[in-house]
């Protein structure tokens, strides 16, 4: 069973409520332990930290982390453009097949797309996971709506759509084109099957580039300045805590 435990339930040693900057150490223990085995202690969890922060401090963290996403988005776009370029350089021969060199280009494009897919969609370290964590951070702490919370929501939605739709589709299409291009060309009036998956892959690649560019532009109002503002606010809050009553 689960139940909410409000932060106000925790008090400092002097009986006052915890405040911004405090750290609460928590450990759970079972109260229905084994009463059959002799001298067996109740089960206990490991210790974990709960850091107390004001809404202002949390929004400062949000702004800084959103600013930090932008360089990673730019690197992902560069990788995507490398994959797109290799795909665009692939030209079916007159009989509809692909040369060995072009099949190698498509294999390299598949590898580049796999790198982009991992950078965006990795469940632990990917850009999607980071954006969703920031969106959930804002929601869990009931931050009022602001430019930062709106951009966190937009980044999570766009990266989720990108991972599930375009990035999931483009790699198999490149593989299909490469496999079809290695087979003998069909006899007329049958159509050459290679351009179909190549063209669909190119459309997905353009959509990926457009989405990444849109997110980079969305976060451009912050960039390094946003990270600095977030650092400055966190530093200011730390100084205020040190100057306050112990």
**How does pLDDT run across 80-138, given as a tens digit for each residue?**
999 999 999 999 887 778 999 999 999 999 999 999 999 999 999 999 999 999 999 99
List CB contacts of 212: < 8 A, sequence separation 6 or more: 73, 76, 77, 80, 162
Residue recorded with tokens 């097949």: 97
Q: What is the model's pLDDT at position 73? A: 97
pLDDT at 5 over 90: no
On whether the CB atoms of residues 208 and 162 are closer than 8 A, the answer is yes
Q: Which pLDDT band holds residue 191 (cuts at 50, 70, 90)?
A: confident
Q: Which pLDDT band holds residue 228 (cuts at 50, 70, 90)?
A: very low
Highest mean pLDDT among 6-15, 138-147, 204-213: 204-213
Measured distance CA(53)–CA(22) in Å, rounded: 8
Closest CA to 90 of 101, 80, 82: 101
Q: Average of pLDDT values for 28-45?
A: 72
Measured distance CA(243)–CA(20) in Å, rounded: 13
CA-CA-CA-CA torsion sign (19, 20, 25, 28): positive
Q: What is the model's pLDDT at position 117? A: 96
pLDDT at 232 over 60: no
Mean pLDDT of the chain: 85
pLDDT at 161 over 90: yes
Measured distance CA(14)–CA(10) in Å, rounded: 11
Strands annotated E in 9-111: 23-26, 48-51
For 31, 45, 52, the CA distances from 6, given in Å and listed in that order, are: 21, 20, 12
pTM reported for the whole predicted model:
0.77
């Amino acid at each position: 069973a689960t139940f909410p435990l409000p932060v106000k339930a925790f008090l400092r040693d002097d009986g006052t409520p915890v405040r911004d900057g405090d750290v609460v150490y928590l450990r759970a223990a079972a109260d229905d332990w084994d009463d059959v085995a002799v001298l067996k202690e109740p089960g206990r969890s490991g210790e974990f930290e709960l850091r107390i922060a004001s809404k202002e401090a949390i929004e400062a963290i949000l702004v800084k982390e959103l600013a930090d996403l932008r360089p990673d988005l730019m690197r992902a776009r560069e990788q995507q453009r490398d994959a797109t370029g290799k795909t665009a350089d692939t030209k079916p021969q007159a009989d509809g097949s692909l040369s060995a060199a072009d099949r190698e280009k498509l294999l390299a494009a598949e590898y580049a797309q796999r790198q982009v897919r991992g950078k965006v969609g990795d469940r632990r370290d990917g850009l999607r996971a980071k954006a969703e964590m920031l969106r959930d951070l804002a929601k869990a702490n009931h931050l009022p709506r602001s430019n930062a919370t709106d951009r966190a929501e937009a980044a999570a939605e766009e990266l989720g759509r990108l991972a599930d739709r375009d990035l999931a589709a483009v790699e198999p299409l490149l593989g299909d084109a490469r496999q079809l291009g290695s087979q003998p060309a069909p006899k007329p009036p049958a159509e050459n099957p290679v351009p179909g998956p190549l063209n669909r892959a190119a459309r997905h690649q353009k959509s990926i580039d457009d989405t990444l560019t849109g997110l980079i532009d969305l976060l451009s109002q912050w960039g390094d300045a946003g990270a600095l503002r977030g650092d400055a606010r966190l530093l200011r809050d730390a100084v205020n805590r040190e100057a306050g009553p112990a």
